[in-house]
Homo-oligomer: A and B are copies of this chain.
Amino acid sequence: MISYQEALEIISQNTFKQTVEKVSLSEATNRVLAEDIKADRALPPYDRVTMDGIAISYSVYADGQRQFPIAEIIGAGMPQKSFNTPKQCVQIMTGAIMPNGLDTIIRYEDLTITDEVATINVETVKEKQNIHFKASDKAAGDVVLTKGTKLSAAELIVAAAVGCAKLPVYKLPKAAIITTGDELVAINETPLEHQVRRSSNYGVESLLNQWGIETEQFHLADDKALMLKEIEQILKDFDVLVMTGGVSRGKFDYLPEVLEELGVTKHFHKVKQRPGKPFWFGTSDAGKQVFALPGNPVSSFVCASIYIRYWLNTSLNQKPNTTYVKLQQDLDFPPPLTYFLECKLTSTKQGELVAETFKGNGSGDFANLTQADGFITLPDNQSAFKAGEVYPYIPFR
């Protein structure tokens, strides 16, 4: 049985292949940029007025003039003008291009305008104030967004400004989510006494969809011949397989066998952790990954939250920062297993993150998950954990 860290290491050596697609700006949020994006022109592209008010010649102001006749009004979107009457001013609006011959903006708040004459009421005018100068942020040709950047709303503003209506991003894998287990019926069915509805798959689906991965659901009976046939096809049609159930030591847990017969190489089966110990991971000849997660809801949810996210991030060269949180209460966990414990974070007014932990009725107790927002990761080489100690946290909300 391998450790949590060893499992991560093996997964990081079995990432999906990076391929590139172009998506529109509206579809690009949370995708990872596959090429550098350069400014097609300077940012800002011209000396841009940043306040509504008047444009003057600073040297005239410095010589003592405080009243400026208004020659004209210039709005944003008007071509650049030139003035050689420095004792006059122009009214000018935010976003406009600075006229030639004038060099300083006084905002309306610092003016009185009467009969087409602006009077400056302050003595704090600085030369060239309220202008965002051409190329002061970026020069034409500068890289504005770097390959490998995860695109948030902020990056889309930059991409739009430099004219990228479509962005090159890494393709995301298409996942099949496969449930197994003859006790499982569909959510819209009424289960018999000994049956339960499929539920683990919806937790996994929601996580994957939130990470941008398209999913399709399958349910397979605990019948080896049927499994062989169906999984063979699914392996052709999808980039990654996520299975829940069928990997424990049970007599009807055919999955590991079936996968190996289909040429999926096992990288590990079982990880020294709780919950989620029976986790199985392999790759097909065609380089597709198979995550065969334990069937119970909390176990599959923990494994997806941790390992599939890690696989996705590693495949896309993303290294999300670890969040460290303080334990709120003392805990004992003697088994030599990494313990992923449900917890709820509070941000204190001291700037700390504190984790209140919940111990449910074992790994089948998914009702308890709804109190939590993530898992605190308690290492396997310790059995007592004290309030105030700090451990890594893995969010699921």
Contact = CB atoms under 8 A, between A and B. Distances in A.
Interface of A: 25-26, 29-30, 41, 43-46, 48, 50, 52, 73, 75-80, 91, 93-97, 108-109, 132, 136-138, 144-145, 149-150, 152-165, 181-184, 187-207, 209-210, 222, 245, 248-253, 295-297, 301, 321-326, 346-354, 360-370, 372-373, 390, 396-397
Report the copy number of this chain in the oligomer.
Answer: 2
Given A75-B182, A154-B301, A197-B163, A364 B206 contact: no
Contacts of A349: 324, 390
Contact of A199 (B30, B160, B245): B160
Contact of A187 (B150, B164, B203, B206): B164
A157 B369 contact: yes
Nearest to A194: B97
Contacts of A109: 249
A94 B295 contact: yes
Nearest to A221: B77
Contacts of A370: 144-145, 149, 154-155, 158
Tell me the dominant secondary structure on chain A's binding face.
loop
B158 A76 contact: no
A347 B321 contact: yes
Given A29-B209, A97-B194, A326-B351, 5 more contacts: A79-B193, A153-B204, A154-B203, A158-B367, A351-B353
B252 A76 contact: yes
A152 B396 contact: yes
Contacts of A372: 154
A318 to B, nearest CB: 12
A321 to B, nearest CB: 6
A75 B250 contact: yes
A187 B365 CA distance: 51
30 contacts: A25-B202, A26-B205, A26-B206, A29-B210, A43-B367, A45-B191, A75-B252, A79-B193, A94-B295, A95-B181, A132-B364, A132-B365, A137-B366, A152-B373, A152-B397, A153-B202, A153-B205, A153-B207, A154-B369, A156-B205, A156-B206, A157-B369, A158-B369, A161-B197, A161-B366, A163-B197, A164-B187, A321-B346, A324-B348, A351-B354
Given A78-B194, A79-B193, A94 B369 contact: no
Contacts of A136: 361, 365
